[in-house]
Amino acid sequence: EVQLVESGGGLVQPGRSLKLSCAASGFTYSNYVMAWVRQAPTKGLEWVASISTGGGNTYYRDSVKGRFTISRDNAKNTLYLQIDSLRSEDTATYYCAKQDLYDYYFDYWGQGVMVTVSS
């Protein structure tokens, strides 16, 4: 059974940093592209970033480029999202998602972790 378990969220002041983690199990983690998708309170879904199987290629939405860093540790079956210079508009639930290799849909999702940016 595929499992994705996020951690690392919380209440953070604007301008500070946070690192989210996602522990994966139930599939051959190193063979799959992984992604982060976020959802602001009462809003829709927004793709944030993706990372290739080996970690050498990363992709971001324009609004987070330069502040967000996606990475992975295939030895630990873990995905990360480093968020710097947090802004109020980053307040959201962040989901880790397994991405289909060819058609780029998200076939499994974690339960999500909440990030609240507030002073």
Partner 1 sequence: DIVLTQSPALAVSLGQRATISCRASQSVSISRYNLMHWYQQKPGQQPKLLIYRASNLASGIPARFSGSGSGTDFTLTINPVQADDIATYYCQQSRESPRTFGAGTKLELK
The mark string for 88-117 relative to partner 1 (x by CB under 8 A, - otherwise) is -------x----x--xxxxxxxxxx-----
Burial of residue 27, with CB atoms counted within 10 A of its CB: 0-12 exposed, 13-18 middle, 19 or more buried = middle
Compute how many other C-beta atoms are within 10 angstroms of the C-beta atom of residue 100.
12
27 binds partner 1 (CB under 8 A): no
Site for partner 1 in 51-70 (CB under 8 A): 59, 61-62
- Chain-centroid distance of CA 101 in Å reads 17
**Closest separation in Å from C-beta 110 to partner 1:** 6
Place of tokens 């976020």: 38
Binding site for partner 1 (CB under 8 A): 37, 44-47, 59, 61-62, 95, 100, 103-112
